[in-house]
Structure 1
Amino acid sequence: MSEVKIIAASIVNFLKQQLEGDTLSVDSRESVEVGVQCIETAFELSPEDAAKALDLLQLVRQQHSRAEPPVDSAEAERLKNEGNVLMKAGCYREALENYSRAIELDPRNSVYLCNRAAAHFKLGQHEDAVADCTAALALQPNYVKAHGRLGLALTALERHREARAAYARAAQLEPDNESYRQNLRLTDERLAQRGERPPLDLGGLLQNPALLNMATEMLADPNMQNLISGLMNNATATGNGAGGAGGMSALFEAGQALAQHMQAANPDLVDQLRRQVRPPGPGGNPPSSQ
């Protein structure tokens, strides 16, 4: 019996196992029965072939049990809780050992990794803290506390641009957390003091309610609608698009009108946007003191 026939017979065996159960709907059962007949016909399977078929479901279960060792969740949680008590008592090395043992028992628990990162941080092991936070975020990308702790560890390593990204994500996920916003502001100041411009946070801008409201009001303004319509008509009439001389002139006029409208509607928001996109130095605003 060829290997191909063994595989085909094994698939048929698996499908027949599903037909013996009661999990399939009537329509699904009909489809599976047709599939069985098609496979048997296409591969010319005989009763002797069926007798040599493998139990695919059992093979998968065996492979799964080998790939993932059993998890002792109760003991892991006990070790984590004990580690939390040790952290509060200032016993950071002992807490780290507890978290490490919890991770050994349950390596896919992002909380244990994030807690161990905190212990690493307290011990001055900042690279290890970064590694644990990164591993936690690989398991749970929107884990706010892991983003925040990653920012702290990166700040300690003076990797401020990376730290800013971590703080920005934490603040985005938990906008009411003043600690994340404060760390973000301080990181921007550090970057400015080093002559670096913080990266433009387009995600934050697009989620800014004031900016969204301003955009909605501008699009509803008849004057702005006429301006946009004129720009499109001009580009169509010239046949050059926005890249032609007429299109560039119209774009410039539209930009001026847009800037004037924004300044009149919300000068504070405009000033905030200018500070975010303006490069540091003599021409930019100095970083605010805390």
Structure 2
Amino acid sequence: MEVKGLVASIVQFLTQQLEDGGLTADSRESLEVAIQCLESAYSVQAADAPVNFNLTTVYKSVMENSKPDLGPEATPEQKSEAERLKNEGNALVKADKLYEALNNYTQAIKLDGRNAVFYCNRAAVHSKMGNFDQVIKDCQTALSIDPQYSKAYGRMGLAYSSLQKHKEAKECYKKALDVEPDNESYKNNLQLAEEKIAQQGVGSLGLGGAAGFPNMDLSSIISNPALMQMARQMLTDPQMQNVMSNLMSGNNEQGDRIEALIEAGQQLAQQMETANPDLIEELRRQMGGNPNDPDPPQPN
């Protein structure tokens, strides 16, 4: 179909939305502006739309065809056996027998491919195995069966976070909260995703990150007056000077030096956190770590 024909069909659809009503005054005004812009840019009218082409019908057809093939409806016997395999798979996950559990959930899906829980549980195993693309695929299938399945949204959000796709993760957590608005885990994960997005925004301004920590603003950390003052205080502390002296001593064996290095690091971290806990928490966030990150949810 020519571009003008497609645009005319869009204009026709939007015009129909205006006629159907149910829109606020602001929405109507925005829609009218959109229609005028399309008509002006492409020199088309709603009447120019192809006679045998209905945008809504085409959209519904595409959505139906894009759904995964879930197979025929399972018999009661097949559903019962699939449920048994799922329960056995849950026990295998608790025993950390991930490959066996994965096989159980797959066999359950073959028997009853219309059960969203089976896909979401298999996604949990894929998550533990680091197969995050498979997690997303299984969660999407689960949601095609049950669009209100909050756990599938949450699990998919964790997969996107692991792939550093924080914008997609944010959308998943928001949808999970639409279904379960009081779920603290989703709230925490949404906040973390938003923080990661903000950090990426800072990184895009051209501030260099340290190796292994692409989101860390190294230049601002080094030039932070509070951090520099803390470092000076630490180095004048007699106990810290003694630890550093032992570390630099040429008489120590390699193992002793490693122990001294660990001790120095631990003492320095403890003193810095005591002196300025807010600064240390900010450094943790910039380096991508947070001790309060919730563990991935277990299968149903």
TM-score by length of 1: 0.44
Which has the larger Rg? 1
Q: Could you say which structure has the greater relative contact order, defined with CA pairs below 8 angstroms and 6 or more residues apart?
A: 2
